[in-house]
Amino acid sequence: MKITVTDAASKWFREEMGMTGRGIRFFGKVYGKTPVHQGFSLGMTPDDNPRDPVVTESKDDVTYYITEGDEWFFIGYDLTVDYDEKTDGPKYDYTENGEL
């Protein structure tokens, strides 16, 4: 399991959310869907104090991470965070990584 943040996504988090020097936590939440989950969707929130991170990615002075409590949502996949021009926000791609 790993997180990859593209340059375009990094720019969006810094400019639109003011995240320079801060942290972003990704987590699974009830309701919605992803290409790999039915009934669950991906959430993200500013959080500067990672507790029990299982994976982190630092890019342009922002730390992106997943905590132990949300590992279930991401296990078996690598997460790529990119920028979607149509929605002017992040988009998420999941790539199987053979963990399962």
Bridge partners, residue 44, by sequence: 26
Q: pTM of the entire structure? A: 0.93
- Sign (positive/negative) of CA torsion 5, 66, 25, 84? positive
Domains, the chain: 3-96 (2.60.300.12)
**Tens digit of each residue's pLDDT (9 = 90 or more) over 69-83:** 999 999 999 999 999
Task: Judge whether 25 and 44 are in contact, CB under 8 Å.
Answer: yes
| Three-state SS at 13 | helix
For residues 23 and 25, give the distance between their C-alpha atoms in angstroms, rounded to a whole number: 7
**Tens digit of each residue's pLDDT (9 = 90 or more) over 34-91:** 999 989 999 999 999 999 999 999 999 999 999 999 999 999 999 999 999 999 999 9
For residues 23 and 31, give the distance between their C-alpha atoms in angstroms, rounded to a whole number: 24
